[in-house]
Amino acid sequence: MDRRTLLKTGGLALAGFGLTGCGASLRSRGASSAWRAPLQLAPPTVTWDRVLRTTVGLRPHRDSGFVLRAEKLDAKTIVHDYGFGGSGMSLSWGCGALVADLTRQTGEHRAAVIGCGAPGVCAARQLQRRGWDVTIYAATVPPDTTSNMSMAGFTPTTALIEATQRTPEWDAQFREAAEISYRQLQLMVGPNYGVYWIDTYNATDDPNRQPGPPAEGDLLPDQLRPGRFREVIGPGDHPFPSKYAIRSTALAIEPSIYMDAIVRDFLLFGGKIVIRKFDTPRDLMSLPESVIVNCTGLGSFTLFDDKELVPIKGQLTVLVPQPEVKYRANGRTANGGNASMNPRADGIVIGNLQDRGNWSLEPDPEVRQRNMAAAIEFFGAMYQRGNGRIRR
């Protein structure tokens, strides 16, 4: 089994259903010494009349990975913290802690954070925990940030970096941030923050196949790899239209609950939010704070002339919520379509997309049609498998 980590996940892997890892076991009637009842799962009802909305988010990708460093701009200290691709929700707490470390040497205790997505709010909270007075300046705030549009979970290598661009220094910075974030998110598990553990199922005819492009090196340490403990469920023991189902457990995040909660914490801790847009670095000179943390994501393309930034468009279709559906699943249809499903309190999330270089925030009707058609076929087959395991 190839245990290398996917650096740029795509298609099936984006939703955190990676098959990498060790500790796999096979559960089937023929291989198990103790018989267990077939897996019972409530199927999602995927029909067009249940569609609530389709959302779009632009992931801020850089081929050389995120930027986390300090620089001087006249009398101001600018700490950059942006360019996370699809990993911003995963890495925000760790990168925020590293931001706080970089600001310590300034001797200041008052900071401005530019941007109110997950990276900005988490950086602000990490500064507050160290006694800083923080104001967030942003053109958009939740629920209108890119973070709110994400699938969301602990997927710290999603659309993050090109393998050929990695350096030992960047790798070390990434690993430290990932470990801090993973610990912090575990402490936030529960309804207050919308962070929880969820079983994920990858339906496949080949239990040894890994989705997505070939892995390029061991970026994540073993203890942080999604799916490192997994169970292969054999034919006849699961409701999916495939020979096997691979089950693993991962951290998931409800963006609407999570973003509101961390913003609320920031405000309760004395923070302030000011709605303001900045067009050039010189606009920042008017701020009263001498330490400025740049968490503008794709905004740095213009604000700091970072032309390495490129959007990777994501698109999700949300259906009416089904509280009885308490697992993630993905797989391929007979026609080769990619079906994926993620349950949240605000709806059943269908589909996925990684469209590099597309700046449009408008939903693509063809992508929506393709995602829905695949989901209707794949999850509809769960109703047809019978054997009394699935009830409508």
Contacts (Cβ under 8 Å, ≥6 apart) of 167: none
For the beta carbon of residue 332, count every other beta carbon within 10 angstroms: 21
β-bridge mates for residue 272, sequence order: 135
> CA 44 to CA 53: how far, in whole Å?
17
Q: What is the pLDDT of residue 230?
A: 84
Closest listed residue to residue 51, CA positions, set 365, 359, 286 = 365
Q: What integer pLDDT is reported at residue 210 of this predicted model?
A: 57
Closest CA to 239 of 375, 376, 391: 391
The domain locations on the chain are: 61-189+254-308
Q: Tell me if the pTM is above 0.85.
A: yes
Question: At how many degrees (to 10) do helices 118-128 and 88-104 cross?
Answer: 40
Other beta carbons less than 10 A from residue 186's beta carbon: 12
Per-residue pLDDT of the chain (392 residues; tens, 9 = 90+): 433 333 333 333 333 333 333 445 555 444 444 456 788 899 999 999 999 999 999 999 999 999 999 999 999 999 999 999 999 999 999 999 999 999 998 999 999 999 999 999 999 999 999 999 999 999 999 999 999 999 899 989 888 999 899 999 999 999 999 999 999 999 999 999 999 999 999 999 988 865 444 444 578 887 887 667 789 999 989 999 999 999 999 999 999 999 999 999 999 999 999 999 999 999 999 999 999 999 999 999 999 999 999 999 999 999 999 999 999 999 999 888 899 999 999 999 998 888 999 999 999 999 999 999 999 999 999 877 653 344 33
Token pair 């802690």: residue? 97
The domain over range 61-189+254-308 is classified in CATH as 3.40.50: yes
Dist CA 132 CA 136 (whole Å) = 12
> The tokens of 318 are what?
């949300």
Instruction: Say if residues 355 and 373 touch (Cβ distance below 8 Å).
Output: no
Spatial CA neighbour of 159 closest among 311, 295, 20: 311
For residue 291, the SS3 value is strand
CA distance linking residue 121 with residue 345, whole number of Å: 22
pLDDT at 209: 63
- Give the end-to-end CA distance of the chain in Å, rounded to a whole number: 37
Distance CA 56, CA 89 (A): 16
CB 25 within 8 A of CB 272: no
Spatial contact of 260 and 268, defined as CB atoms under 8 Å apart = no
CA distance 297 to 362: 19
CA atoms of 160 and 155, how far apart (whole Å): 10
Exposed e or buried b per residue across 31-51, where buried means at least 16 C-beta atoms within 10 angstroms of its C-beta:
eeeeeeebbebbbbbbeeebb
Phi, psi of 192 (to 5 degrees): -65, -35
Predicted pLDDT of residue 335:
84
Question: 118-128 and 255-268 are packed helices; what angle lies between their axes, rounded to 10 degrees?
Answer: 30
CB 146 within 8 A of CB 82: no
